[in-house]
Amino acid sequence: MVIRNVKGDTYIIDTGFQLIPFYRLGDGRIIMVDCGLLVEREGIVNILASAELKPAAVLSTHAHTDHIENAAFFQREYGASIIMTEAEAAVLASPSSLKTYFYTMAVSDIMKYFGNMMVQADVKIGMHDEHVDILGARFRIISTPGHSPGHISVITPDNVACLGDALASCDVLESSKMMYSHTISKDIESKRSLLSLEADRYIISHNGVFDEIKSLIQPNINYLEDSASEILNLIESPVGFEELFDKVIRHHGSRIRDLKKYNMMEKMSRSLLDYLIDTGRLRCSVIEGNLYYVK
DSSP state for residue 39 in the 8-state scheme: G
Largest CA distance in the chain: 67
pLDDT computed for residue 172 by the predictor: 95
pLDDT score recorded for residue 123: 97
Determine the Cα–Cα distance for residues 116 and 101; give it in Å rounded to an integer: 14
pLDDT in tens, 173-217: 999 888 999 999 999 999 999 999 999 999 999 999 999 999 999
- Packed helices 107-114 and 259-278: angle between N→C axes, nearest 10 degrees: 110
- Model confidence at 9, pLDDT cuts 50, 70, 90, reads very high
- What is the per-residue pLDDT across 17-76, written as a single tens digit (0 to 9) for each? 999 999 999 899 999 999 999 999 999 999 999 999 999 999 999 999 999 999 999 999
Q: How confident is the model at residue 169 (pLDDT cuts 50, 70, 90)?
A: very high
Helix pair angle (184-193, 214-234), 10° resolution: 160
At 256, is the pLDDT very low, low, confident or very high (cuts 50, 70, 90)? confident
Between 253 and 59, residue with greater pLDDT: 59
| 232-252 pLDDT per residue, tens | 999 988 999 999 999 999 998
Is there a contact between 213 and 194 (Cβ–Cβ < 8 Å)?
Answer: yes
3-class state of residue 96 by DSSP = helix
pTM for this model (two decimals): 0.94
Query: Which residues does 64 contact at the CB level (< 8 Å), separation at least 6?
Result: 148, 165, 180
Q: Is 196 exposed, middle or buried (0-12, 13-18, 19+ CB in 10 A)?
A: exposed
Rounded CA-CA distance 171/161 in Å is 20
Q: Over the stretch 115-154, which tens digit does the pLDDT of each residue have?
A: 999 999 999 999 899 999 999 999 999 999 999 999 999 9
